[in-house]
Structure 1
Amino acid sequence: MKPLDAAALDCLAALADHASFERAAQHLAITQSAVSQRLRSLEAQVGQLLVVRSRPLRLTEPGKVLLRFARQLQAMRDDVGRELGVQASPGERLPIAVNADSLATWVMPALDPLVREGLSLELVVDDQDFTHDWLREGAVLGCVSTVSEALRGCRVQALGVMRYRAVASPEFVAREWQGDPGGLNRASFSRVPFLVFNRKDDMQQQWVSRAFGVRAPRLTERFVPSSEAYVRAALMGWGVGVAPDIQVRGLLEAGALLDLRPELTLAVRLFWHQWRLGPDGAPPSPRVAMLDRIGAALASGAKAALGEARARPLSARRPRA
């Protein structure tokens, strides 16, 4: 195969980042026609469709393969620029993927010092299983994940454990069980509503399975796809929520929420993954150095919020998106 055109690969990366020809053209300071022409040329060279022209557009599997190469090429260009004393483009974004519960609790305080320094960051929020897919496809440079094994070309660092509790408002407990949280039991759990983040969220089923020894429990579900609104719904008495301990601890202490089983928590281990960009043994480029600082900031913030990242068996499969 002939050498791939670097400008065309930049167009592919811009399309992946911005999900439209118009925004990609604006980012690259060229016309939409030029973006389309470079993409068609790249597709003709490899003989495969690289982008599905949908709204928003998305990359095909061959496009994801070339995107990884484009990211590596950009990192090598950063290295050359550093050695030549050329400053990186101002405002270049560093995309990372996180789950919503982490974003709502400890991630933003952890990254705040870097943002105040001027870090141009893009936070991608997705279901925890899919954050790792974003990394594998090259769409982000790092991710917070429950996956413990590093991808080829990546490195991984343990962050800590998020613990989830089943909570409900005193008003809900009074209405459903005459004020006795013990009214939630093996016989009654299927009759009361449980709050669910989205259709990928199975924390509630995991909690019921652990609490009552029921395999594949069927629940009455109310969907609330926002971490902050999820806790608000629990406060309003919409149902039983399974929420992060660090998010509801103050509300439990104030009596605004009740812990339905104080002895039972679901423990979810979190890990930080990031690409190894640039040649081995070389001093890090500005982009790589900043990515390393993001990883260090997340590790420090997670340690402060979640505790030490000790090795232990995984009790729950994943946190919600």
Structure 2
Amino acid sequence: MNNLLDPAALESLAALAEAGSFERAAQLLSITQSAVSQRLRALETQVGQLLVVRSRPLRMTEPGKVLLRYARQLQALRADAARELGATQTREERLPIAINADSLATWVLGALDALVHAGQREGYGLELIVDDQDFTHDRLREGEVLGCVSTVSMALRGCTCQPLGHMRYIAVASPAFVAGAMPTGLNEANFARLPFIVFNRKDDMQAQWVARAMGVRDPRLKERFVPSSEAGARAAVMGWGVAVIPELLARPHLDAGTLVAIRPEVTIDVALYWHQWKLGSGIDAPADDGAANARPGLMEQIGQALIAGARAALLQP
């Protein structure tokens, strides 16, 4: 296989992964569908493997995911180069990162605010992809994102991993729900009858908390699905059930008296980590200036911002 992969073909592969169809990929790249198809066929011929399953939506094959990771890294490096050179880009470079919903609802936006505004000036854009903290790492491994906030503590080959801190979860409910549904408190006799507000079917935080609080294994809960961290907290305020949510998210409601803590001595602390692909440290400074003066690359800046934001907001062991 020729080691020189066509950057335009790799860009088309990334657009196909992003858009899910040839038509939308062509729109993203401002070229024809035929050109996207030709670039993909040429890339598949060059590597000798099928890269995309032509389904609806399109799916990356395992070799396609390998090249997608490479294509994403090239996008980030291209954005670094354009920013360092002060070049005007015809298309905003997209830097996708995967964030768990609870971090997004609490500390992430503040941590990334300055970089988002800088990106508007410098021609790059952050894309935040939301998933459960136990599954964001899968998106990094499959090449969908360049970095992720995850509960996984082991770095992938070619990636770095840095601890962010612990997010503490507590159980809460509205005062009216507590008075009406469990006037004597949450206990072994009533927990299975009470509704628990759950983010989605990947979310096992409520089950973890009940197992710890009640001393039972694999508790079966009455679940009410609300697929949003903020909406889940609001549902608890409205009396929909018990919610196990980040203390950061619950604190304003606890202070206002619209939520009360249930068994406040029982908490779950979830360790979070920042993972990102190693892309180098940006465009090197001239030798006589010293490498220490090189401007950090965009992914390094994103990582630094998230680490600083997390360490200010999360519990530090």
Which consecutive unaligned segments of at least 5 residues does structure 1 have?
311-321
2:231 aligns with one of 197, 219, 229: 229
Q: Which shows bigger deviation, 188-197 or 118-127?
A: 118-127
Question: Is 1:142 aligned to 2:147, yes or no?
Answer: yes
Q: 1:211 to 1:112 in 2, by over 3 A?
A: same
Question: How far does the alpha carbon of each residue in 1:140-173 deviate from its partner, in whole angstroms, 9 at most, with x for none?
Answer: 1111111111111111111111000111111111
2:243 to 236, 241, 244: 241
AA matched with 2:140: L
Matching residue of 1:302: 310
Query: What one-letter code is carried by the residue in structure 1 that aligns with 2:260?
Result: L
How far apart are the structure 1 equivalents of 2:109 and 2:282?
A: 31
1:169 aligns with 2:170: no
Partner Cα distance (1:253, 1:5) in 2 = 57
Distance 1:78 1:242 in 2: 40
2-structure distance, mates of 1:77, 1:210: 48
Measure how far apart 1:279 and its partner are. 8.5
Q: How many angstroms does 1:28 deviate by?
A: 2.2
C-alpha displacement at 1:79, in angstroms? 7.2
SS in 1 for 2:297: helix
User: Map of 1:282-297 to 2, 5 A cutoff?
Assistant: 289-297=297-305
1:123 — aligned with what?
A: 128
d(CA) in 2 for partners of 1:171 and 1:186?
21
CA distance in 2, matches of 1:133, 1:256: 37
User: Higher RCO, 1 or 2 (CA under 8 Å, sep at least 6)?
Assistant: 1
TM-score, normalization by structure 2: 0.88
Partner amino acid, structure 2, of 1:304: A
Aligned: 1:97 with 2:98: yes
Divergent runs of 4+, >6 A: 78-83
- What CA distance in whole angstroms lies between the structure 2 residues aligned with 1:120 and 1:281? 19
User: How much is the aligned-residue C-alpha RMSD, in angstroms?
Assistant: 2.5
Cα deviation 1:153-198 (Å, max 9, x = unaligned): 11111111100011111111111123x4x2x111211111111110
Q: CA deviation at 1:60?
A: 1.2
Q: Percent identical across equivalent pairs?
A: 67
Matched, 1:193 2:198: no
Question: Cα distance 1:50–1:245, how it changes in 2: closer, same or farther (>3 A)?
Answer: same
What is the CA-CA distance between 1:287 and the residue it aligns to? 10
Q: Which runs of 5+ in 2 are unaligned?
A: 286-290
- The 2-side partners of 1:19 and 1:299 are apart by 32
Verify the 8 A CA contact 1:135 1:143 in the aligned structure 2.
yes
Deviations 1:23-54 (A, max 9, x none): 32223221111101111222233333211223
Q: 1:74 to 1:169 in 2, by over 3 A?
A: closer
CA distances 1:34-84 after superposition (whole Å, capped 9, x unpaired): 10111122223333321122333221111101212333445566677789x
Going from structure 1 to structure 2, the CA distance change for 1:207 and 1:10 (only over 3 Å counts) comes to: same
* Contact kept? 1:79, 1:278, Cα under 8 Å: no
Distance in structure 2 (CA, Å) of the matches to 1:300 and 1:221:
35
**How far did residue 254 of structure 1 move?**
1.9
2:188 aligns to what SS in structure 1?
A: coil
User: Which residue type is aligned with residue 67 of structure 2?
Assistant: L
TM-score by length of 1: 0.87
Read off the aligned partner of 1:2 and give its amino acid letter: N
**Mean Cα deviation higher: 71-80 or 241-250:** 71-80
Amino acid at match of 2:137: H
Conservation of the 8 A alpha-carbon contact between 2:282 and 2:295 = no
SS at match of 1:120: strand
CA distance in 2, matches of 1:80, 1:196: 43
Q: 1:279 to 1:208 in 2, by over 3 A?
A: closer
Aligned counterpart, 1:314: none
CA contact (8 A) 1:50 1:62 kept: yes
- Paired residues of 1:146 and 1:269 also in contact (CA < 8 A): yes
SS at structure 2 position matched to 1:242 = strand
| SS of 1:55 mapped into structure 2 | coil
Confirm or deny: 8 A CA contact 1:155 1:274 kept in the other structure.
yes
State the match for 1:57 in structure 2.
58
